[in-house]
Amino acid sequence: MAGSRLLALVGGALAGLALPPLGSPPLLWLGLALLWQLSARQRPWQLGGIWGLAAVLVSHRWLLGLHPLTWIGVPEPLSLPLCWLLLAICAGAGGVLVGGWLSLAAWLGPRRSLAALAMAGLWGLVEVALAKGPLFWLGIGAAALPGDRPLAGLAALVGAGGLAAVQLLVAWGLWRCLQHLTARRWRPFLLSGLVLALAVLGLQALGTRVLAAQPLEQTTVERVLVLQPAIPTREKFTWPQQLRLRQLLRAALAEGDQRQASTVLLPEGALGLDPELDQPAPVELISGGFRWQEVGGEPQQRSALLRFPPGTVQPTDALDKHRVVPLGEWVPLAGLVRWSGLSAVGGVEPGPAPRLLQRPEASIAGAICYELSDGEALAAATRDGARWLLASANLDPYPLMLQRQFSALAQLRAIETGRWLVSAANTGPSLLVNAKGEVVAQLPAGRAVTGLFTVPQLSNLTPYARFGDGPLLLLTAVVGAAAVFSRLQGSRQPN
């Protein structure tokens, strides 16, 4: 049993390393092949739990970069233990999910191709669901970037959930191939290896073709100016930094007007608690900030993308953040316990789920912070008329590792929707991604700079933007029902 636990630990660690910022599908396939191998061992729930625990500990280790939390009132001796506790909770949740998945795979019989297809689809659908949950989610559907862009091109057809299922099926083929090797069945080994190699090459060829067919240009384009203020979050509400931000904003608006930009973009929360400009904006401004919304006779504070039309000092439109951070932003029963949580601005409430921000020039799909992990929501906004994507984030004091993961997700969202994406972040990554998922421009991280990006307004729909995860759900339901029926029928056969 000790050897199986070690195998689970190594497999999970390999999978965690394979995720962005590395983005190495072959390394991921090896980690997943070890997971499939564990389904044939005793206590698969325990082994799957160890695998999932190790994978999340490695892939989400950036959570430790929150330390020190003294700027939000946490005593320094408690800061690092609290960060470790957050990481442990996330890792524990990953362990529970993978443990349950592996138990079901063991019951269905993982050597059966029907069961493998059903379990791969189930994993993909669970990743889609987790991306809508309260925590930042980085699943294996994102592992193709930045290392294997042709494979990532499949996301335009099946989304991140389908891409996760594809990765699991490739790993299943690798596991079956290695089984023949260890048993010294040379002919089946060579045959299965050839089939697996052809399958991988075929998937990459299909992804390449999909990306090549994706249009990049349109007759209508926008010129947007991104302001990356690079103001440390720990000092954001001090008077010197507030004064500095106002100066940077005035200069950016003047630059946007001079360079004939249609819009100036600021990152999440940039305008703070008082989203009013010193003077009328010469061009449209879209900035992160906070606002109050009355619901049921009670005021609610919300984090939002605020739109200031030219000539105004106050926002006229807003897209509220829907996925707020538990404890960091949103506190359950905050009205009863009167605690604002870990947020420096007090507790905020979630807004409506749709991600479409309508504007005269062209509607856009907006993602605030880790809402970028929810590809289905941005695909729905694209289907509703969004012409390009806006990712607005703070990402400070998180380390550079999270910025690179954010960049990989931005590229994946652009591929899924067939839209150009602009990221406006406090310390980075502030970048421009084309509809093929290629980063065509990026501002230097950690510096207060501006960048003028030209963004085409695209209107075509990728298959994923058109149909979402419906095909994956239907396929998984049909194949899953067949796999369960086959398993039950097999158990009824006389010995």
User: Is-catalytic flag, 369?
Assistant: yes
Is residue 248 located within the same domain as residue 179? Answer: no
> Which one of 214, 232, 266 terminates a domain?
214
62, containing H or E segment: none
The pLDDT value recorded for residue 345 is 54
On the question of pLDDT at 38 being above 90, the answer is yes
Residue-level pLDDT at 234? 79
Confidence label for 407 from pLDDT (cuts 50, 70 and 90): very high
Q: What is the pLDDT of residue 274?
A: 76
User: Between residues 396 and 422, which one has the greater pLDDT?
Assistant: 422
Verify that 138 and 230 share a domain, yes or no: no
Are 233 and 156 in a shared domain? Answer: no
Say which of 236, 369, 376, 416 is annotated catalytic: 369
112: its two tokens: 């059966």
Same domain, 289 and 229: yes
Q: How far apart are the first and last CA of the chain?
A: 29
The verdict on 119 and 239 lying in the same domain is no
CA distance 178 to 192: 9
**Predicted confidence band of residue 432 (pLDDT cuts 50, 70, 90):** very high
User: Is 177 part of the annotated catalytic residue set?
Assistant: no
Q: List alpha helices for 384-448, DSSP H.
A: 400-417
Same-domain pairing of 9 and 27: yes
141 pLDDT more than 90 = yes
In-domain check, residue 487: no
pTM above 0.85?
Answer: yes
Catalytic residue among 90, 127, 177, 321: 321
pLDDT tens column, 111-135: 999 999 999 999 999 999 999 987 7
Does 184 have pLDDT greater than 80? yes
Same domain, 146 and 228: no
Asked about 268 being catalytic, the answer comes back as yes
- pLDDT band at residue 339 under the 50/70/90 scheme: very low
d(CA 167, CA 410): 20
Tokens standing for 180? 């023949």
191 and 228 inside one domain: no
- Radius of gyration of the CA atoms of the chain, in A: 24
115/240 same-domain check: no
CATH number of the domain bearing residue 395: 3.60.110.10
pLDDT at 72: 64
Q: Is there a domain that residue 485 lies in?
A: no
pLDDT at position 238 over 60: yes
pLDDT band at 61 (very low <50, low <70, confident <90, very high): very high
The proportion of the chain whose per-residue pLDDT surpasses 70, expressed as a percent, equals 94
Is there a single domain that holds both residue 274 and residue 195? no
Query: Is 240 domain-assigned?
Result: yes
Sequence length of the chain is: 495
Are residues 366 and 304 in contact, defined by beta-carbon separation less than 8 angstroms? no
Per-residue pLDDT tens over the stretch 308-321: 999 999 999 999 99
Q: What is the mean pLDDT of the chain?
A: 91
- At 218 the pLDDT is 76
Asked whether residue 324 is assigned to any structural domain, the reply reads yes
Residue 64 included in any domain: yes
pLDDT of the residue at 219: 78
* CB-CB neighbours of 259 under 10 Å: 12
pLDDT at 344: 53
pLDDT over 90 at 481, yes or no: yes
List C-alpha distances in Å: 190 to 28, 168, 181, 279, 437.
Answer: 22, 21, 9, 72, 35
* Shared-domain flag, residues 272 and 302: yes
Q: Considering the candidates 268, 371, 376, 416, report the single residue annotated as catalytic.
A: 268
**68 occurs within a structural domain:** yes
- Residue 300 and residue 189 share a domain: no
Whether residue 490 lies inside any domain: the answer is no
Q: Is residue 479 part of a domain?
A: no
What is the pLDDT at residue 424? 97
Strands of 270-363 (E only): list them. 284-295, 298-308, 317-320, 356-357
Q: What is the mean pLDDT of residues 68-89?
A: 82
Concatenated DSSP letters of 132-185 = TSSS----GGGTTTTT-HHHHTTHHHHHHHHHHHHHHHHHHHHHHHHHHHHTT-
Write out pLDDT tens, residues 273-309: 778 898 999 999 999 999 988 888 888 889 999 999 9
Q: Is 253 helix (H, G, I), strand (E, B) or coil?
A: helix
Tell me which of 328 and 403 has the higher pLDDT.
Answer: 403
The domain in which residue 322 lies consists of: 221-461
- Structural domain count, the chain: 2
Q: Is the pLDDT of residue 335 over 70?
A: no
Torsion 40-41-42-43 (CA) sign: negative
Mean pLDDT, residues 235-245:
86
